Chain A
Amino acid sequence: MTRCIQLLLLLASSPAALAEGGMSYNLRPGVTAISQQVYGLHMTIFYICCAIGVVVFGAMFWAIIHHRKSKGAKPASFHESTKVEIVWTVIPFLILIGMAIPATKTLLAMEDPSNADLTVQVTGSQWKWHYKYFDYELEYYSLLASDQDEITGKRAKRENYLLEVDRPLVLPVGKKVRFLMTSEDVIHSWWVPDFAVKKDANPGFINEAWTIIDEPGIYRGQCAELCGKDHGFMPVVVIAKEQDEFDQWMAEQQQAYQQAKQEEQALLAMTMDEAELMSVGKQVYDKHCAACHQANGEGLPGVFPALKDSPIALGDVDAHIDIIVNGKAGTAMQAFGKQLTLKEIAAVTTYERNAWGNDTGDLVQAKDVAALKGQE
């Protein structure tokens, strides 16, 4: 209730007071040459529309005020004038041509991804982004970082609520970066307002887009095509760095990437105990699986199957690992073999087999997963 009153006050006050909330009320000019051109176009058309509006509504309100019956106006009898009608057909047409010319120029520039310095493949899937750098050996997933408690209001919402990811995309400034957009399942759309880049990620096709970022910084966007239940929870975060910082970052990443691969091998020999498996498993589950199968394992009937008491989670271990590693083609169940490490898959399988009253007692180890993966 107090909030309502607060808002009514806000409503009555000027937009300037609202702006304190941190939202911009207009398009942002952004940080690329293109985005600034787009902003310019936006403002131009907006002003033209305002001008036309003033003329049209002006004439209308003039008539409303001066030609009203209560003031004794007597109706005129004209109802036609070819001359006037030609005028107001031709003038708007000319105005449109005036708008179309700069729009065409900007569009042609935007649609030319040739001569790129760096190429990144951007793949959407329900509900995360995957980035793969061409020319480097690096690829990773990028997931929403706000947690369920924030969303359901059990915990205060942090800054950048819903606009934070675990691993942002990192790009160099001043370089022409080409994006290859595609998708694993439904259509998503990769959008960063500050670059004026929004391109659909269509499954089975690759769309190209590009940008040259002028300033280092953190830029945030969101998925802009309805892609199912968690469409609203699929942010994009890009960090733009100076070239040398970028190179340094890339070197670190590559090292870490190699290291992880080696560790993966080492893990095969190790066995983890139940407590570790279950705690890692729960983490993985909540982050990667709960969106669909729900934290309580009960799924959403008719959309996402329950894992609690599910024949697969209680039945053959290999079949269970298999569906996690390879997913199930033609359903929302995606292949996690690439997204998760052997250890994580082992842990989450174990977790699913022992949580929510699924008391199989089975412990799955990294080598079991590797064995199954190796068979292919």
Chain B
Amino acid sequence: MSSISDVQIDHDDHHHAPPKGLMRWVLTTNHKDIGSMYLWFSFAMFLTGGAMAMVIRAELFQPGLQFVEPNFFNQMTTVHGLIMVFGAVMPAFTGLANWLIPMMIGAPDMALPRMNNWSFWILPFAFAILLASLFMEGGGPNFGWTFYAPLSTTYAPDSVALFVFSVHIMGISSIMGAINVIVTIMNMRAPGMTYMKLPLFVWTWLITAFLLIAVMPVLAGVVTMVLTDKFFGTSFFDAAGGGDPVLFQHIFWFFGHPEVYIMILPSFGIISAIVPAFSRKKLFGYASMVYATASIAGLSFIVWAHHMFTTGMPVQAELFFMYCTMLISVPTGVKVFNWVATMWRGAISFETPMLFALAFIVLFTIGGFSGLMLAITPVDFQYHDTYFVVAHFHYVLVSGAIFSIMAACYFWLPKWTGKMYDEGLAKLHFWCSLISVNVLFFPMHFLGLGGMPRRIPDYALQFADVNAIVSLGGFAFGLSQLIFLAVVIKCIRGGEPTTAKPWEGAEGLEWDLLPAKAPYHSFSTPPEVK
């Protein structure tokens, strides 16, 4: 039991500087270290998933098969989706939660610091397994990120077993991360920090964490059924044994739909921090923002079958899911209107975080509109499984979730590093991203309406020109993200030192009470919040 005494020894100096070397990162229990690791990991995955998107776009640049086999193309599509969702967006949010929540609520650290480290370190291993499966005989997962049975069972390559178990441990990681967030928020608030004083980022994460704990186990359940159907002779998704392939979709989307809100609610929190800061005005309608978030989360449990309108559900079910889905526009609208009202008669300035936030509001709303169109069942029959859907979800995910993450990085980078990033370079990143993201994803609406199905490596000739434009937009957007990397590295290496509160209008404990660079242990004794 010598290790325990080791622990005891360095326990003494844990209020001072961070330990040095690689082991600092491997063994750390510090929320900031873990937050940084999450963010870097997420960025690495963003590049990996992005590289796969580039393969997709290169193949689709022209009609005909040029670079990859159809089977490999399907693997790229699948793994791109999986990596972006589970490897890029979710860990980025968890990273932000780790960095920010303790600072925002006046806590010394996350509630369960060791478990926090465990949640993080599972991820690189999980994705190593997923990526390794691409190199197995028969290839990696090729059945879409939604892995519909029986394509993912009877007809799948054997490597599906690795996919299943890697999803299992990803799920364990997410659940532990979420438990940590929830417990931290419920139990670690500084005295006086009542629920209705929490910054919205904290609120949105509280609700997101609840969603995570509620649905990740369901994902674990459904992959388990996939595993037993493929390898142990069960027939959950096989009519011959009394099951139903559509059952898979119900369970998957019961997870999957809340999952997409897991990828957007924290963004709402970020935007609700940035817009007031640069409008120099308090957030409009704080309470209704909280209720709206909660309503979105609540509704997200009863809309899942809008992904399944073409599966042949009885018409009553289709109507139910259509109505519920449409309803989500109401609380989401409240959020958008409140942001606009916050800006109204403010004193707005346009630093990079604000630019990304503004782009978020416009582009996310466009994505929301196409979502609403998809919700209209009879018309969804036309849109479903076409590039219209691809356009919809990239608007909400890339110019939504990813843009908000970028905005958050720019906004809090000074607090993380104590230094200011290069505003000129950052603006360049913004404008390049803004233009190319629209060249990339806007024409996809046309492709979808014109009749191009998604998940195909080759297409009919009439789609050629638009696809080529989309691909060019894609390459440009991908390259633009390298500017982001440059900005961050430049900031860390040699940014100008900054002040405790570089943004005039920013509010919150992290700006008001902490020095320019947040100390390793922010609040060893909790502050009193009035």
Contact = CB atoms under 8 A, between A and B. Distances in A.
- Check A-B contact in the complex, CB < 8 A: yes
Interface of A: 3-4, 7-8, 10-11, 18, 21-28, 37-38, 41-42, 45-46, 49, 52-53, 56-57, 59-60, 63-64, 67-70, 73-81, 84-85, 88-89, 92-93, 96, 99-100, 103-104, 106-108, 110-111, 126, 150-153, 157, 159-163, 181, 185-187, 189, 191, 193, 196-200, 202-205, 207-208, 221-233, 300-303, 330-332
A7 B472 contact: yes
Given A23-B466, A202-B244, 20 more contacts: A23-B450, A26-B446, A38-B378, A56-B340, A67-B343, A69-B280, A69-B348, A73-B345, A77-B282, A80-B284, A85-B337, A88-B333, A108-B315, A110-B378, A161-B461, A162-B458, A189-B310, A203-B150, A226-B455, A232-B457
B349 interface: yes
B64 A111 contact: no
Nearest to A105: B378
Contact of A79 (B71, B285, B376): B285
Contacts of A21: 462, 464-466
A68 B347 contact: yes
Contacts of B373: 42, 45-46, 49
Most chain B C-beta atoms within 10 Å of own C-beta, residue among A7, A103, A205: A103
B232 interface: no
Interface in B44-95: 62-66, 69-71, 74
A interface: dominant SS: mixed
A189 B385 contact: yes
B515 to A, nearest CB: 26
Most chain B C-beta atoms within 10 Å of own C-beta, residue among A22, A76, A79, A226: A226
A91 B493 CA distance: 51
Contact of B245 (A23, A75, A204, A208): A204
Contacts of A224: 310, 384-386, 453
B456 A232 contact: yes
B267 interface: no
Contacts of A204: 238-240, 244-245
Contacts of A18: 465-466
B139 A303 contact: yes
B6 interface: no
Contact of B458 (A84, A110, A232): A232
B343 A63 contact: yes
Contacts of B138: 300-303
Interface string B233-248: 0000011100011100
A85 B288 contact: yes
Interface stretch (B166-174, B187-195, B198-206, B360-368): B360-368
A107 B315 contact: yes
Interface residues of B, number: 107
Contact of A107 (B71, B281, B318): B318
A88 B381 contact: no
Given A11-B469, A200-B311, A203-B245, A232 B453 contact: yes
Contact of A301 (B62, B137, B341, B385): B137
Interface string B368-412: 010011001111011011100000000000000000000000000
Given A23-B446, A200-B310, A64 B358 contact: yes
B228 interface: no
25 contacts: A3-B468, A10-B465, A21-B465, A42-B382, A57-B365, A73-B348, A76-B281, A79-B286, A85-B334, A89-B333, A103-B379, A157-B461, A162-B458, A189-B385, A191-B453, A197-B381, A198-B382, A204-B244, A225-B310, A226-B74, A226-B385, A232-B453, A300-B71, A301-B138, A330-B154
